[in-house]
Chain A
Amino acid sequence: MITRFFSLQWKQFFRSSYWQKSMALNIVMVFFALYFILMFLGLGFGLYPLLKDKFPTQDPLLIVNGYLFYWLLGDLLMRFFFQKLPVMNIKPLLTLPIKRSSILHYVLGKSAISFFNFLPLFTVIPFGVILLINGYGAAVVLTWMFLIITLTLITNFLNFIIESKSAETELSFLPILAFSGILFGLNYFNIISFNDLVGSAVNSITANSLLLIIPIGMLILLYYANFTLLKQKLYIDRSLKAKTEIATTTDMAWTRRFGSVAHFLQLDLKLLWRNKRPRSSVFIVAIGLLYGLIFYPNPVYQNMVSFYVFVGIFVTGIFMINFGQFIPAWDSGYYKLLMSQNIKYKEYLNSKYTLMMMSAILMFVISIPYVYFGWKVLVVHFAAMIYNIGVNTHVLLYGGSFNRKKIDLTQRAAFNYQGTGAVQWIIGFPLMFIPMIFFYIPYKFINFEAGIATLIILGIVGIVFHEKIMKGITKSYINTKYKMINAFDQDS
């Protein structure tokens, strides 16, 4: 049975059109995986000498155990956002003559061999080997290694329980953020020192390997908790069912002011608000706004005004870049409708332009408090906004005509690479770095004002020639129409 399941899994992975189409993306993912493996390996090899060097009087193993709490908390958070229990795939299996329990054991068992559980091994094994070399007892080290692996699996299964509980609420990530925030806070302010608690628990287990029974017992308990939880839900009207939302309707009368693009604008606003994927790109805006706080208070960047331009473009353009680079893939689900309806391409594209323009202005207004870090920041942000409206919007729209990837609007956003092609990677960089160059050259050779003027003039030129530029962009869309329809028809 298990071998059948594995062969299904294998085929699902390698036969998905996703895998076959986007080798480039897979290479990027493999690169990321290798990067993480190297990081963890480095940590594993470097930890012991590093700790010995910094705290020569203390026992490195005890220090590590003292900080295990943070490791576990971080692990849990990472998993919550990036690891999912793939229950949807088992729907076709339900009516086949397979026991429900063996389906569940397979799904749960499979989650135990995920990348997340292997990653810690790259740290734990080298660290353990170094401990052995440095004269720790084999029993202690082996118990410790075994314990860490057990703890990793405990987090693995704990995460699925938390996920299934919090998935019922909108903004499902708030409970876990609050929970881990409170734990962190209690620990940080020494109200309850989880560091010490976890540390001493681990220490006593490594001292007496019989106590391993406790974590193993916990693991088994959690596994069965998951098992029973899932068993109740293994019906197509429970967890396997896609949720239906209650529709809220607004007529958005204010968009009428935008004339012929009004109905597309309404459509875009509804698109943003009613679908998971684009909705999260609205939330990313909030993160983008805070981006400046990394740079402006830092004295290192005090005299690197070019970085202000980078931040300015980013802050006023984050929505634009997030939304714009997937035009027209957002509409891929019903692109055939748009293409056979009485629609002028120009109006369709102009609506997207209007939306991006409004976002840039709005983001600039919200970012005005950055003036606290000096008037130059505000001036740079203003120039960046004009540049974004005049130049970057058009670049994004033009880039969109090369989009060949469908987007499924109902999928979530974080680490969702659906719809991402080579174009997105290529287009992202010039959007932010070219204005830095445009600013830097006049700034270096003349002065600050000249740099700002260059950006503003470029932006205004773009705005003045908007109609002309749009004509060219529209032509590019019309030329690639059939290719786009065909590509958006493919399921990935």
Chain B
Amino acid sequence: MIKVANISKKYGQTTVLHLENLEIPKGQSFGLVGNNGAGKTTFFNLLLDLIQPTTGAITNNEIQVDKSEDWKPFTAAFIDESFLIGYLTPEEYFYFIGELRGMNKADVDTFLEPFEELFNGEIIGKRKYLRDLSKGNQKKAGIVAALIGNPEVIILDEPFANLDPTTQIRLKKLLKSLTEENKTTVLISSHDLGHVTEVCERIVVLEKGELIKDIETSEATLKELEGHFSV
């Protein structure tokens, strides 16, 4: 689904990301871990064509992302709060995103039904604007919005941060079910090694912009990762 060929991003003399070759097949749940400054968000930004690569290219379903915009209809992302429109209510935001993905109000309402539990009565029908919600609830709204319209590629940066324990567990279930049922490719990054080994079939470790580990998740993975990061 996603092919990375010799991509690099430099700011001045410093290389913040350099990936020789990376291929993410369709339907895989792909996890990205690494300390601050490892290049996780940079990779996602490149994938979404929000920054320009210094060299190389990323193709998403055979479409080179910085050449054509045709990857947008089947790709969705939630990177940070700047993906929310603060002066809309969560409902209005969902309808707006739905509209862009060819769903009318009724479609969006049916889509939202299964998330009622996740929202915990704090998001829908509260007469609050997104900017006034707590960080955790903003995140929930953003993640759910990224799922609207059954995209084939879903990119979530740090989806577990700021969420309460109950929601973290629900979100893990949700992400697992996505890759099982739908053949959706899910890319997430996380600082929580436990969560990411639970959700992802494959985990890539970045360090200072370089890929240093590419692991297929197994029983031993969590131990291996903990060993790697406890220096």
Contact = CB atoms under 8 A, between A and B. Distances in A.
Contacts of B84: 334, 337
A340 B132 contact: no
Contact of A267 (B52, B96, B132): B96
A263 B87 contact: no
B72 A342 contact: yes
Nearest to B47: A340
A446 interface: no
A485 B75 CA distance: 19
Interface residues of A, number: 29
Contact of A341 (B52, B91, B97): B97
A342 B87 contact: no
B100 interface: yes
B3 interface: no
A271 B87 contact: yes
A95 B85 CA distance: 32
Contacts of A263: 96, 99-100
B77 interface: yes
The binding surface of chain A is classed by DSSP as helix
B127 A246 contact: yes
B207 interface: no
Q: Is the interface on chain B under 10, 10 to 19, 20 to 34, or 35 or more residues?
A: 20 to 34
B155 to A, nearest CB: 9
How would you classify the secondary structure of chain B's contact residues: helix, strand, loop or mixed?
loop
A410 B126 CA distance: 21
A96 interface: no
B129 A342 contact: no
B82 A335 contact: yes
A245 B51 contact: no
Interface string B206-230: 0000000000000000000000000
A247 B85 contact: no
Contacts, number: 79
B49 A336 contact: no
Interface in B47-88: 48-52, 72-73, 75, 77, 79, 82-88
Contacts of A102: none
B138 interface: no
A348 to B, nearest CB: 11
A486 interface: yes
B88 A337 contact: no
Nearest to B80: A336
Nearest to B77: A340
Contact of A337 (B51, B82, B87, B127): B82
A466 interface: no
B198 interface: no
Given A263-B100, A486-B51, A249 B89 contact: yes
B72 A343 contact: yes
B129 A482 contact: no
Nearest to B88: A270
A485 B96 CA distance: 21
B11 to A, nearest CB: 11
Interface in A408-426: 409-410
A338 to B, nearest CB: 9
Contact of A249 (B51, B75, B91, B100): B91
Nearest to A340: B48
A270 B96 CA distance: 12
A336 B50 contact: yes
B92 A482 contact: no
A416 B11 CA distance: 32
A247 B72 contact: no
Nearest to A267: B96
B40 to A, nearest CB: 16
A274 B93 CA distance: 14
Interface string B93-104: 000110111000
A275 B126 CA distance: 19
A489 to B, nearest CB: 7
Interface of A: 244-249, 263, 266-267, 270-271, 274-275, 333-337, 339-343, 409-410, 482, 485-486, 489
Given A271-B87, A335-B82, A336-B83, 5 more contacts: A246-B127, A247-B89, A248-B127, A263-B100, A342-B72
| Shortest 6 CB-CB contacts between residues of A and residues of B | A244-B132, A274-B87, A337-B83, A340-B48, A263-B99, A247-B127
20 contacts: A246-B128, A247-B126, A247-B128, A247-B129, A249-B92, A249-B127, A266-B96, A267-B85, A270-B88, A271-B87, A274-B129, A335-B82, A336-B79, A336-B83, A337-B85, A339-B48, A340-B49, A342-B72, A342-B100, A485-B51
